[in-house]
Amino acid sequence: MCDTIVALGSAAEEGFTLFGKNSNREPDEVQNILIVPRKKYKPNDIVQCAYLTIPQVPETARVLLCQPFWMFGAEMGANEYGVVIGNESIFTKEKPDKIGLTGMDLVRLALERSRTARQALEVIIELLEKHGQGGNCGYRLKLKYMNSFLIADKKEAYVLETVKTWWAWKKIKDVWNISNIISLQKDYDACSEGLIENAIKKGYCKNEKDFNFRKCYSAKFMTWSAKGAEREKRSRTLLSKRKKRLTTKDFINILRDHGDNSQWTPNHSPGATLCLHAADKLFRRNQTVCSLVVKTGDGGQFFYTTGASNPCISPFFPVFSPDTTVPGKYSEGSENYNSKSYWWESERFHRKALLNFNSAQVEIQPLIINYEEEIISSIENSLSTLNQKQINEHFIRARTIVKKWGSKLDHLTSVNLGWSFSRYWKGYNKRNGII
């Protein structure tokens, strides 16, 4: 369950496009930061996606991917031309195919094959119509779903929502967000042949005039259980509060949102917060495992990620400047705990923080705020782009904040979390090898 937000220059303070996404997946599903260089291919080369092999293109763009460790594709990412994409699962009355391209496959393929948001939109549609969508998209818990995409560049943005090989899209004005619920109703700009005809045939609507994408195709129970409507409403409320004045920091704050309840805690919270925390195997089994914020425009391109779960207690650090790779001290993670992996190192502290989350959050928030305000101001007001040395230094500072904070957590007084919540996280710690 994810949340993706976008604001065009007309809604932002400095005329840039802003993009953000929280990737919400299973709580021990590591999401790595990957930078893939531009590459040329030979005729007849192929690319192995999650479940399908498809023809490769002559050249792919340099891309930044936020990638679940076991996948080919990505939850969100960007390319060297400033195109950014995030996808969301949506649950429909039509069932996904057993085999096809996954939404994450389509995110990566579109980033590698496009130079504008409109071109990325067309790439996804072409691939969708040719190969279909399907296959398991869950890690330990098997899950199949259709996909919604938010696609943007420095000038424009689109929302694309899909059912099987059918689709509808809308060109966005000002702001938009998607949250595991079909966001388009009657307000789409274009749709594929067959989308409305199938709805009429199946009895989802009476005629073309009666057609409403959300109402016709949403699977009621799964859409309700995903809490997409609540999160969609919350995102739009937060975007509207700062409309015309939105900044990088506003987007970071939206991704950290826990709602208006001042008494919020991970063990006693609703499952509809934008910064999502897992708590049980039934209703709150996912959490935010990585976050990305992008600012792109004629004045530059800026990319920030947590590279870790829980953005409320994770600093965003810069990545993906021209001619750079991932930070020098950054190491990827996989299935089991590894102290060298930044994701797992952060996760170990995050789980320890659950013993007294509010106090732990109070300890780290001032450190994060000071760091982010400093780096965002210096990076976005600089006349030059970041080099590899600066990328490395900013990451080391972020990692140092997490380590120093983590070393203080043992001194916090533990609170009563309840038997079920404590047992849930002890089970994950044992499974992952975290002592």
Which residues on neighbouring strands pair with residue 191, listed in sequence order? 168
**Which pTM was predicted?**
0.96
Domain range list for the chain: 3-332
Mean pLDDT for back-to-back runs of 10 residues, the chain (435 residues): 94 94 97 98 96 98 98 98 97 94 98 98 98 95 95 97 98 96 97 97 95 96 88 94 91 95 81 90 91 96 97 97 96 96 96 92 94 96 93 97 93 88 94 90
Other residues' Cβ atoms within 10 Å of the Cβ of residue 201: 9
For position 410, what pLDDT does the model report? 84
Contact by Cβ (8 Å): 108, 63? yes
Domain 3-332 has CATH 3.60.60.10: yes
Residue 184 to residues 90, 168, 268, Cα–Cα distance (Å): 12, 8, 32
Q: Which of 2, 137, 275, 290 does the annotation list as catalytic?
A: 2
Task: Give the integer Cα–Cα distance in Å for 64 and 259.
Answer: 30
Collapse the DSSP code of 54 into the 3-class scheme (helix H, G, I; strand E, B; otherwise coil) and give the result.
strand
* Cβ-based neighbours of 193, under 8 Å, separated by 6 or more: none
Residue 246 to residues 110, 149, 150, 363, 375, Cα–Cα distance (Å): 27, 21, 18, 27, 18
Task: Give the integer Cα–Cα distance in Å for 313 and 258.
Answer: 12
- Residue 312: active-site member: no
The DSSP call for residue 337 is -
For position 283, what pLDDT does the model report? 83
